Structure 1
Amino acid sequence: MSKQPVWAVLVVAAGRGERAGLGLPKQYRPVAGISVLARSILALGEALPEAQILCATGPEDGPRYAAMLDELPPELARRLLPPVIGGPTRQASVRNGLESLSRLATPPTHVLIHDAARPFASASLVQRVAAAAAETGAAVPGVPVVDTIKRVDAAGAIIETPARSELRAVQTPQAFAFEPLLAAHRRAADAGVADLTDDAAVAEWAGSTVRVVEGDVRNVKLTRPEDFAEAEARLSRPLETRVGFGYDVHAFGPGDHVMLGGVAIPHSQGVTAHSDGDVALHAVTDAVLGALADGDIGSHFPPSDMQWKGASSDRFLAHAVDLVRARGGRIDHVDVTIVCEAPKVGPHRDAMRARIADICAIAPGRVAVKATTSERMGFTGRGEGIVAQAIATLRLPPEPEA
């Protein structure tokens, strides 16, 4: 059995960010009262709760960095390793950080590298990139290019128009197996190659294959003054708390497993349902839709529509989550209770929490999964079916007054 990856997070925060203005490195500029660097660390720390975090900082940034630590929850601040001084380029700063991590008593097996100036990396994005790197050795997030791209010569004449279908705008965080990336950085430095602008380029130069996974258009890099103005507006909008309740039930039928919380659980029976019959995800979907006051799962995915026959229920919840995003909101917490005599939920609880968290783009610590029986009473007590109830807590911009 393969060992679980040991993750470290390296935050590149040594740049000066002069284009952002105000004479302050952009990673220390406050946005809605919290520095950009602190926001990035908060996002990464929530997404990878077991990882140690190292920042590569500028040589004059000691007092600013110390003040930033006060913005973090104490338990998160304790996870930060002493900062390492960065180099004159991003590539040099990353190498300094990797060398520092290699000297730990227990070096990481994998490393996730993130630019401090991207404070909007979601938990689902971080976990998606980390999972892909754990599988393949190297992964980066990318978003499709929507503008037509032209290659031009020194005089500005067009040389080529690459096909957009082959292009991706690559973001951070980027994730890698630790030892190969460190070796690639060392080789590049020894060869005098110092102008590679991200770690994927370093890995590619060394001959590694890097996988591109789905990025997030909201994961913007703050560079210019207008970027900070937009980030301030994005974070300063007043939000109101909404709570929704969801309920679902399915009868048992022929089969050898049930889907619960996106996890296939072996059982002596399946469920009778139009889709895959995942009562937990159905209940969470209805809870989210209820908080949005936007109908129920049946109105969005009617059972009379055959395209949903046998459909995976994660599609339903992902749709509800997209509706939250489209409204400018966020999911804060999900609480699910499953009622049945069998199968046993406990052994699968953490896997269900992780899957629900991934779909909802929140950390697993914001998802609760509980199970109980009905003390042999009613249809669940007789083993005829299974029930799930869920509560979702959202924050949304307030609706305009009527």
Structure 2
Amino acid sequence: MSRNEVAAIIVASGRGVRAGDHPLGPKQFRTVGGQTVLARTVELFAHHASVSRVVLVTNPDDRGRLAESLPTMADFPTLTLVDGGATRQASVRNGLLALKQNGPQTVLIHDAVRPFATPSLIDRVAQAVTPDAGALPVIAVSDTLKRGDGGFVAATIDRSGLYAAQTPQGFPYLPILAAHERARRDTQTAFTDDASIAEWAGLAVRLVDGEPDNIKLTSARDIELADARLRERSAMTHKIDVRTGNGYDVHQLVAGEQVTLCGVEIPHDQTLSGHSDADVGLHALTDALLATCGAGDIGDHFPPSDPQWRGAPSRIFLERARDIVTKAGGRIMNADISLICEAPKIAPYRDAMRQAIADCLRLSMERVSVKATTNETIGFVGRREGIAAIATASVAYGETD
């Protein structure tokens, strides 16, 4: 046994049923702030100066997900993979057995779905472990506690001396291994954490200060809130420059059979006159995007004197503007278009327009807005001589997730 060695066991074999089904699998493989929960937790321990070995206990069915979550396993030379068991308790025992050869003096046992523990918490727990006592990070219970009976309050529980337990939980290695072996042999009790097994086995457990942010991600809502918090923190930490661009376009209406607006062909008794398909909505949005990085306007990139753009679909122009913005380091956040016309009616085609723009800009549909208004029969629009469009685009430049 290495006298002062600290090893860590990360338990990541759970199915996370309370978080619901998800294409990425169990909650440890879902992303918060652009990184998987598991990767955040593994990096915390694998890169900690005081932790010499890390055992990652996973479900054998998750090996494919594990490779995607930790694509550069070479970055973690101290990491050992171990198959989990049918229960958390069995999984921890498998992790402890993996350390048996040259066992450490201290072992820290941590839930993979607590990705917000800090290096200082790891130090605090490890330093509190002694040969005859473990260490448990806790938060004092602040809420008033009630005991229920039949759907009614039966009693108020005195919260003094009550604590919420966290991980990592630290123990002297040989005593906690012995406690797990004894529990497996002598009782059918399903222990909810390793401190409970230590208590049952007679091993003292010292309380140390936990951290309010060291939450366990249990539900889908927990994951959503954690993701939002990290993204907000990233936006505050990194230099992000959010810019807004405006665009305006107008085309004349002439006799015809259809108009193309925001990428959608609409049957009509007139058509828009122009060198391309004269889609005023996409032309205005193209100018709005180019404005966010000072890249001129649509005429600079697609001059009407160039015959190659005759009759061209305006989607080409919008895609070029998108690529120019992306190359300049921008991420398109929102697109809004107002169409000004007396006819045709826009409402029946609005969602198709939004979807066409969203597909072109690689946005979710909720980030695209298309609105329409008349000109109250005033002016050239009111006389049905033309259709105008005003567009606004928001683009974030700088370091974004």
Given the two structures, how large is their TM-score scaled by the length of structure 1?
0.55
SS at match of 2:79: coil
Name the CA shift for 1:162/1:135 in 2 (closer, same or farther; >3 Å).
farther
Match of 2:94 in 1: 96
CA distance in 2, matches of 1:143, 1:233: 24
1:257-268 map, 5 Å: none
C-alpha displacement at 1:4, in angstroms? 4.8
Match of 1:9 in 2: 8
Amino acid in the other structure paired with 2:194? D
Name the CA shift for 1:49/1:68 in 2 (closer, same or farther; >3 Å).
farther
In the alignment, which of 182, 185, 191 is matched to residue 180 of structure 2?
Answer: 185
Match of 2:66 in 1: 65
Deviations 1:211-256 (A, max 9, x none): 11111110011111111111111111213369xxxxxxxxxxxxxx
Contact preservation (8 Å) 2:59, 2:84: yes
Contact preservation (8 Å) 1:5, 1:134: no
Name the CA shift for 1:160/1:95 in 2 (closer, same or farther; >3 Å).
farther
Amino acid in the other structure paired with 2:86? P
Match of 1:233 in 2: 228
CA distance in 2, matches of 1:131, 1:49: 10
Contact preservation (8 Å) 1:136, 1:211: no
C-alpha displacement at 1:42, in angstroms? 1.3
C-alpha displacement at 1:45, in angstroms? 2.5
1:116 corresponds to 2:116: no
CA distance in 2, matches of 1:124, 1:147: 26
Name the CA shift for 1:185/1:160 in 2 (closer, same or farther; >3 Å).
farther
CA distance in 2, matches of 1:6, 1:206: 24
Name the CA shift for 1:212/1:233 in 2 (closer, same or farther; >3 Å).
same
Name the CA shift for 1:182/1:233 in 2 (closer, same or farther; >3 Å).
same
SS at match of 1:200: helix
1:212-291 map, 5 Å: 212-237=207-232, 238-240=235-237
In the alignment, which of 107, 125, 132 is matched to residue 128 of structure 2?
Answer: 132
Name the CA shift for 1:26/1:198 in 2 (closer, same or farther; >3 Å).
same
SS at match of 1:189: helix
Match of 2:41 in 1: 40
1:167 corresponds to 2:168: no
SS at match of 1:78: coil
CA distance in 2, matches of 1:241, 1:36: 21
Match of 1:204 in 2: 199
Report how many aligned residue pairs link the two structures: 235
C-alpha displacement at 1:162, in angstroms? 3.2
Contact preservation (8 Å) 2:6, 2:50: no
Q: Runs (4+) of structure 1 moved beyond 6 Å?
A: none
Q: Aligned Cα RMSD in Å?
A: 2.2
Contact preservation (8 Å) 1:10, 1:53: yes
C-alpha displacement at 1:40, in angstroms? 0.6
C-alpha displacement at 1:187, in angstroms? 0.7
C-alpha displacement at 1:189, in angstroms? 0.7
Structure 1 unaligned segments of length 5 or more: list them: 243-402
Contact preservation (8 Å) 2:8, 2:51: no
Name the CA shift for 1:56/1:240 in 2 (closer, same or farther; >3 Å).
closer
Amino acid in the other structure paired with 1:207? G
Deviations 1:69-106 (A, max 9, x none): 2266x44x21101x11111111111111111211x3x1
CA distance in 2, matches of 1:136, 1:46: 28
SS at match of 2:95: helix
Match of 1:356 in 2: none
C-alpha displacement at 1:131, in angstroms? 0.7
CA distance in 1, matches of 2:155, 2:201: 27
Amino acid in the other structure paired with 1:96? N
SS at match of 1:5: strand
Match of 2:78 in 1: 79
Match of 2:31 in 1: 30
Name the CA shift for 1:31/1:240 in 2 (closer, same or farther; >3 Å).
closer
Contact preservation (8 Å) 2:198, 2:204: yes
C-alpha displacement at 1:191, in angstroms? 1.4
Quick check: which has more Rg, 1 or 2? 2
Name the CA shift for 1:232/1:10 in 2 (closer, same or farther; >3 Å).
same
Contact preservation (8 Å) 1:44, 1:121: no
SS at match of 1:165: coil
Name the CA shift for 1:139/1:49 in 2 (closer, same or farther; >3 Å).
closer
Deviations 1:84-140 (A, max 9, x none): 1111111111111111211x3x11111000000000001111110111114763001
C-alpha displacement at 1:19, in angstroms? 1.9
Structure 2 unaligned segments of length 5 or more: list them: 240-401
Match of 1:349 in 2: none
CA distance in 2, matches of 1:205, 1:140: 15
SS at match of 1:61: helix
Name the CA shift for 1:134/1:71 in 2 (closer, same or farther; >3 Å).
farther
Name the CA shift for 1:85/1:192 in 2 (closer, same or farther; >3 Å).
same
Contact preservation (8 Å) 1:91, 1:194: no
Match of 2:359 in 1: none
Match of 1:195 in 2: 190
CA distance in 2, matches of 1:127, 1:219: 14
What percentage of residue pairs aligned between the two structures are identical? Answer: 45
CA distance in 1, matches of 2:132, 2:144: 30
Amino acid in the other structure paired with 2:56? C
Contact preservation (8 Å) 2:136, 2:167: yes
C-alpha displacement at 1:68, in angstroms? 2.3
